């Protein structure tokens, strides 16, 4: 908790010159971004009430949360749920998290549909699977079912699950032999793990390898 007092020193931090240590009545009170010094018109000799100090503290937490949010998004896109979880892990308050999410949604930095579409497109290149398997992965990222379904349908376009399964059979033909019963079983299990139905798997293997399972 803060107590009303007078700013007796504004001192740049030694290792982070863009941050300022604020001293109230000769005692350290809070470290803040240099931008907040201007935003709140802070100067030595100015008296601040408890309410003003609390506002400065909340503004500082919001600034830190936004900075961390941009850092997260610089690595890769995030779903809203993932974003909130990471901020929560950094001990930001629920109020601050919701404020940051609202701002990021408003400016398009967070967009679950775009995230889902990008995620599925990447999966279709690296680890393609059935529609339901892709939807299930998106659900784990906190994407709602309707948005997940739209993203998956969009990524499939005119392709069918049979088309994708056949493509995987052709890809695995480099490693598996159609004449080896164990390899046929391994291929079946592989496609099953990718979420394809037994009917589609049998159809794809028969179509590409000319053998029945």
pLDDT tens readout for residues 141-193: 999 999 999 999 999 999 999 999 999 999 999 999 999 999 999 999 999 99
pLDDT tens readout for residues 179-195: 999 999 999 999 999 99
Number of domains present in the structure of the chain: 3
10 and 100 assigned to the same domain: yes
State the CATH number of the domain containing residue 130: 1.10.10
Question: In whole angstroms, what is the distance from residue 97 CA to residue 84 CA?
Answer: 7
55 and 33 assigned to the same domain: yes
Q: What share of the chain is helix, strand, coil (3-state, %, to 5)?
A: 60, 10, 30
State the CATH number of the domain containing residue 67: 1.10.10.10
**Which contiguous run of DSSP H or E holds residue 208?**
helix 198-209
Name the pLDDT band for 21 (thresholds 50, 70, 90): very high
77 and 131 assigned to the same domain: no
Strand, coil or helix: 12: strand
11 and 102 assigned to the same domain: yes
189 and 97 assigned to the same domain: no
State pTM to two decimals.
0.80
The pLDDT value recorded for residue 99 is: 97
36 and 71 assigned to the same domain: yes
pLDDT tens readout for residues 115-139: 999 999 999 899 999 999 999 999 9
Residue 1 has pLDDT above 80, yes or no: no
Please give the residue range of the domain that contains residue 31. 5-106
Question: In whole angstroms, what is the distance from residue 7 CA to residue 53 CA?
Answer: 11
Residue 22's φ and ψ, nearest 5 degrees, are -105, 125
11 and 100 assigned to the same domain: yes
166 and 149 assigned to the same domain: no
Name the pLDDT band for 54 (thresholds 50, 70, 90): very high
Contacts of 21 (CB under 8 A, 6+ apart): 9, 10, 11, 12, 13, 28, 30, 31
The pLDDT value recorded for residue 3 is: 86
Q: Of 106, 141, 170, which closes a domain?
A: 106
102 and 27 assigned to the same domain: yes
Contacts of 195 (CB under 8 A, 6+ apart): 129, 130, 131, 132, 133, 134, 136
């Amino acid at each position: 908790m803060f107590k009303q007092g007078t700013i007796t020193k504004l001192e740049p931090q030694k290792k982070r010159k863009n941050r300022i240590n604020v001293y109230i009545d000769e005692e350290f009170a809070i470290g803040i971004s240099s931008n907040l010094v201007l935003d709140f018109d802070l100067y030595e000799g100015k008296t601040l009430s408890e309410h003003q100090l609390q506002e400065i503290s909340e503004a500082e937490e919001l600034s830190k949360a936004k900075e961390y949010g941009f850092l997260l998004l610089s690595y890769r896109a995030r779903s809203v749920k993932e974003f909130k979880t990471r901020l929560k892990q950094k001990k930001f308050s629920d109020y601050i998290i919701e404020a940051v999410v609202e701002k990021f949604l408003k400016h398009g930095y967070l967009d679950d549909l775009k995230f889902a579409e990008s995620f599925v497109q990447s999966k279709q290149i690296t680890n393609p699977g059935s529609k339901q398997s892709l939807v299930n992965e998106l659900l784990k990222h906190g994407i709602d079912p309707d948005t997940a379904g739209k993203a998956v349908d969009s990524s499939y376009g005119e392709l069918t699950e049979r088309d994708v399964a056949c493509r995987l059979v052709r890809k695995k033909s480099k490693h598996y032999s159609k004449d080896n019963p164990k390899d046929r079983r391994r291929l079946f299990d592989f496609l099953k793990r990718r979420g394809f139905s037994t009917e589609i798997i049998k159809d794809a293997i028969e179509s590409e390898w000319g053998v029945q399972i």
